[in-house]
Chains A and B, each alone.
Chain A
């Protein structure tokens, strides 16, 4: 089936099977391998992307369901000049990654949280990360990075 989809501001046209997942389309058709397949059962959140403005687990959405939609992946967060998104910057500075496998999903969830809660407290951040697992268990610095990013973005008024 044909899927017309905007990914990271670029219009794409892909041929997929009806059973292909959005994560399959991103990784296999478009080679955007920053979206990680962790569990493929919607537990771990490593495949989190933004679909029409909200965070979803791309392993739990069919590619054909996303036809006509606007998708942002981890590759689409940084500026065209390579400048990191403030969330990526904060993750780097706060050492919010160890093995890095969960990181794309954590960053996408963090950005989505600040959309609805620009100044989240620790409990809100932890609740928002319910669907993202870090098997290195490095949650403390991940929570800290999201808080630091929120403070910075609020200070800059973005």
Chain B
């Protein structure tokens, strides 16, 4: 890994100020993606602004209307939180399935969203649950947040502070893991909200996306059989050594049905 300046932020303002004093800095959250990218020289920041000691980014607030999770809350904390398990088990279940035990201890919700990896799990939950991404300067709807492969609506120094997940009637996430890397080849998050159904897919495109034809069918009847034969056009899907676009389209249909089934059985 190339040399870089290291700055340890003490609070949010300090983090942003430090960030703005460099040419090509990056915020360092859990580091489970960024440090690996730096070793491979896919990322070469001139400075890392470490958010690890900013206490305000680790707050969690669970109430019946919804859950607010600080950007620096780890996957493991979300997976193990009894309050989250009680209120929104679909979030703790998703967190439980990320990476491995050691990665979950370090990796964070905010880091995952800010990176917007095409195969990341959290973007699917954020988009399907119509989460709000709260930053140091504004609130961004998940619908507007994910803009492409590793691209988000965040401005260069903008810092994710927390993520608000509104309460769903029922929801679940199901994914097909690559047998070696364990990343989602396809992951589908299905949520029945107060005002409609959302189906968000990760792993299959340049970034997370919704499947409106499935959503409309599920509004009529929230059953796996409702989406039989429906899948996104595979011309738009990722086609790589791990899975063809056609296979991914098939997996979306299969894993959407699995997610619907587990949402029904849990409720």
Contact = CB atoms under 8 A, between A and B. Distances in A.
A in complex with B: yes
Contact of A19 (B2, B8, B76): B2
Interface residues on B, range: 20 to 34
A37 B132 CA distance: 40
B44 to A, nearest CB: 11
A43 to B, nearest CB: 9
B31 A113 contact: no
B106 interface: yes
Interface in B2-24: 2-6, 8
Contacts of A40: 39
A130 B105 contact: no
Contacts of B1: 19
A131 interface: yes
Chain A facing B: main interface SS: mixed
Interface stretch (B56-64, B82-90, B95-103): B95-103
Contact of A42 (B4, B6, B28, B32): B32
Given A40-B39, A61-B106, A62-B31, A55 B101 contact: yes
Contacts of A61: 31, 35, 106
A42 to B, nearest CB: 6
A17 B101 contact: no
12 contacts: A1-B6, A18-B6, A18-B48, A19-B4, A41-B39, A57-B103, A60-B102, A62-B28, A62-B50, A64-B6, A109-B102, A130-B100
Contacts of A18: 3-6, 48
B182 A130 contact: yes
B36 interface: yes
Interface string B55-78: 000000000000000000000100
A51 B52 CA distance: 13
A143 interface: no
A116 B102 contact: no
Contact of B3 (A19, A60, A62): A19
B225 interface: no
B101 A60 contact: no
B106 A60 contact: yes
Contact of B102 (A19, A55, A67): A55
Given A19-B2, A41-B39, A62-B31, 5 more contacts: A19-B1, A42-B36, A112-B101, A131-B99, A131-B103
Nearest to A127: B101
B50 A64 contact: yes
A27 B267 CA distance: 50
A116 B79 CA distance: 12
B101 A62 contact: no
Interface in A80-100: none
Contact of A41 (B3, B28, B36): B36
